[in-house]
Amino acid sequence: MGYDLYAGPLAMCYAGDWNEYDDQEPFDRNDLLNAVCRWRDAVTSGLPDGGIRWEEGYGMQYYFGTIGLDAFGALMLRMACHITGESLPVTIPSGWRFYESPVIEKAMTGDDARIPSALIAQMWIPFGRIGMFQCPGPTGDQINVSTTATLRKDLDTINAALWNADGPTIEGWSYEVPSGEGELDTDSLSRYAFSIFWKALAFAESHSQPIVVGH
């Protein structure tokens, strides 16, 4: 189980077009396309001004980036330590259960919880207003849906608080792919995870497409 970000048409996402190694059962691609279009139209119709009716289809451009649970957890821990004033551990063990971290729990459940809400969403749709809501996703599961404007605000806030890095520097972090077992560098992991969020959002903004979390 991992943590990935896909930015692009939902039809291609759920068809597995981004994964050449994905061995799915046969399905009707037209039925899938029609289903995600109906979902998109239902969701955007409830937004102010009708939201943004992004383009759906196949054979379109997309972005896919693998973060991994260790790196995602390191980013959450880094933000939690900033919020609570706790010291950031220099390393974390590979495979650690970040969702059991008392520091992260304290940051997310305290009276002054400021962990960016967009980072607990399962999808971000292209829209210029801040917000997050729950609804059944395209597969029928209940999900947290946020907006690209919310994610932009969150990432800019995180960057200003932790690094104040420019765009090229942040993109460069995405090539520092974490690997190995044992003790992992917390700072490198958190920067790598942040850079994948940054690149996925840049693609979604420039192409007016949603972002989906994959596991």
DSSP 197-209: HHHHHHHHHHHT-
**Confidence (pTM):** 0.92
Coil, helix or strand at residue 77: helix
The encoded tokens of residue 61 equal 């451009």
- C-alpha span between 19 and 75 (Å, rounded): 25
CA gap 209, 6 in Å, rounded: 10
pLDDT of residue 1: 54
Structure tokens at 59: 């054979």
Which pLDDT score is estimated for 180? 72
Residue at 173: amino acid letter: W
Q: How far apart are CA 100 and CA 18, in angstroms?
A: 32
Q: Where are the domains of the chain?
A: 4-18+28-214
DSSP string, 17-46: TT-TT--PPP--HHHHHHHHHHHHHHHHHT
Quickly count: other Cβ atoms within 10 Å of residue 32's Cβ.
18
Determine the pLDDT at residue 108: 81
pLDDT at 14: 93
Residue the block writes with tokens 């210029």: 128
Amino acid at 204: A
Residue type for 38, please? R
Tell me, what's the pLDDT at 190? 95
Continuous H helices in 51-147: 69-84, 102-109
Q: Kind of pairing, strands 142-147 and 123-125?
A: parallel
Full pLDDT tens readout for the chain, 215 residues: 579 999 999 999 999 887 755 666 778 999 999 999 999 999 998 888 777 889 999 999 999 999 999 999 999 999 999 888 999 999 999 988 888 889 988 888 866 556 677 678 999 999 999 989 999 999 999 999 999 999 999 999 999 999 999 999 999 999 988 877 889 999 999 999 999 999 999 999 999 999 999 87
Q: What is the DSSP letter of 86?
A: P
- Supply the pLDDT for residue 170: 98
